[in-house]
Amino acid sequence: MRLNNVQTLLNTSDELLNVFAKVETKKDAYKALINHQLKDITKDDFKLDYEFLDSLNSILNTILNICRNHYKTTKNNELILRSSLISNFDNQSFFKTMKDFSLWKKKDSNMVPEFAYSNELVDDNNTYENRVVMSLVKHIELIIKNYDYYYDKKILILENTASKNDFTYGSMFYKQNKALISNLLTNKYQDFIKISEYINKLKKKIKKIESTPFYHSLKSFHPIIGEIIMTNIFKENLNYNKIYRFYKLTNSIIDVKKGNIALTNYVLYLLIQSLQRLGYEYVNRYPYAKYTSYGKNLIVSDKTFYFKNSMFNISIEYEGDIKAYIIDISNSNNENDNSKNLLIPYYAINGQININMSKIDCSLYNNIIIFGYDFVKKYKNNEYKKINISLNQKDYEIIDVLLSSFTYTINALKDIYETMCPICGAHQVEPTSNDIECMNCNNHYSFLNDKLVWIKSIV
């Protein structure tokens, strides 16, 4: 997750929301989506990334300055001490001691105070502004991890150049290809070295902050959630003002709710654009129906978008309860021969997924795909399986590939593969009138004709 790309995502979502505020019919909504200028949220820009990491370094220096010279309040602590240790009383402590007989004892026939109330003034770092500083430290630590994850994932390894399960895997051992791969592993991403070194520098600075007395004095603080409030300290103190402005600037990058809404809008935009590129025709089933948005933050509707080509009918419907798109695909010559797919937009941090899949009846879907900000995974058999994508593949190209995989057809003889799975080769298949399920690999397929098989499950 990188700030410039997240900002592109949020801006695109806002642009679409503004356009859809003026949409009246479903066809108008479709036109708005295909006519909007396509932007790629995964575009690499080393210069911008380095500049942002430089700004992180600058703000960490400011936090170190605050650790050394920070704003604090004075707190009055009431204590009970031996009276011999108290040099003077304030009026309140004196009268309180006079009234508390449990502190007195008899000495030489006289009652004297053995203990007495006293007040001490102590510095207190636990102010709102300092809690914001601590929240920003955690905030920055998360951002650094995001950048580290992103660039670590981008660095080429042999498995990124060829799949071990792919028939082209052996090609990496050819003499001419070995030189090409060696070049990729050494020269392709020199900028990564510069970025990686800077990330390590920032990690060390975070550890330096975490070792300060200021940090330890607030270790159990309550983090600030949401927007921060402008106070006099934030307004007048130069260091604290920098903290305030930087927090406002970067708050969007870890606002998961806002990011997920934006990604949901963006995915519908990608789906519609992709279907047009793949040659599908929009079907206006409800020409006079008014377009009703699902919610003010989402461009999706309470109605379904329909498309078709010579082989397939496709519908896209937003399911609000599970916050996902149902992509229903059917054979244009037989609507009962269909495949149901679930595409879940998920704005994740560091590629970590935390979805309550128990709310979803997974048996209904041939494919359940998690489309993240910078990853794609398939959910199957209670686990998330990474789908390998090209290092330089754009997000809209990924959607093209996913939709194409949902409608993947290949020439195959029905006489052979009606009793043998074309995916894994097993003979344990269970045919129905419109679908064949392999009991070995649990994938589904059907025949569009005697020589054309439709693979319904992504391997």
Whole-number pLDDT of residue 157: 46
Among residues 210, 214, 209, 247, the alpha carbon closest in space to that of 231 is found at 247
Could you write out the DSSP letters of every residue in 77-127? EEEEEEGGG-----HHHHHHHHH-GGGEEEETTEEEESEEEEEEEEEE---
Whole-number pLDDT of residue 3: 63
Instruction: Tell me the residue type at 253.
Output: I
Strands 367-372 and 334-346: parallel
pLDDT in tens, 287-340: 877 888 888 889 998 778 999 999 999 999 999 888 999 999 999 999 899 999
Whole-number pLDDT of residue 73: 56
Mean pLDDT, residues 192-211: 89
Whole-number pLDDT of residue 165: 41
Instruction: Tell me the residue type at 459.
Output: V
Query: In what helix (H) or strand (E) does residue 242 lie, and over which residues does it extend?
Result: helix 238-250
Structure tokens at 284: 């206006």
Confidence of residue 352 (pLDDT cuts 50, 70, 90): confident
Mean pLDDT, residues 219-223: 76
pLDDT in tens, 120-166: 555 567 788 888 899 899 889 888 887 887 777 665 444 444 444 44
Structure tokens at 451: 């020589």
How many alpha carbons lie under 13 Å from residue 34 in its C-beta half-sphere?
16
Give me the phi and psi of 365, to 5 degrees please. Answer: -115, 140
- Highest-pLDDT range among 1-15, 70-84, 87-101, 259-273: 259-273
pLDDT in tens, 154-176: 654 444 444 444 434 444 454 55
Whole-number pLDDT of residue 287: 80
Rounded to whole angstroms, the Cα distance separating 263 from 143 reads 18
Confidence of residue 94 (pLDDT cuts 50, 70, 90): low
Mean pLDDT, residues 226-254: 86
**Four-residue CA torsion sign, 309, 312, 318, 323:** negative
Confidence of residue 177 (pLDDT cuts 50, 70, 90): low
pLDDT in tens, 61-88: 999 999 988 876 555 556 665 666 666 6
Among residues 409, 391, 389, the alpha carbon closest in space to that of 400 is found at 389
Model pTM score: 0.75
Rounded to whole angstroms, the Cα distance separating 443 from 423 reads 8
pLDDT in tens, 21-41: 888 888 888 898 888 887 777
Of the chain, the percentage scoring pLDDT greater than 90 comes to 30
Neighbouring C-beta atoms of residue 97, cutoff 10 Å: 19
Among residues 285, 332, 334, 327, the alpha carbon closest in space to that of 313 is found at 332
Instruction: Share the mean pLDDT of the chain.
Output: 81
Q: Please say if the pLDDT value at position 388 is more than 80.
A: no
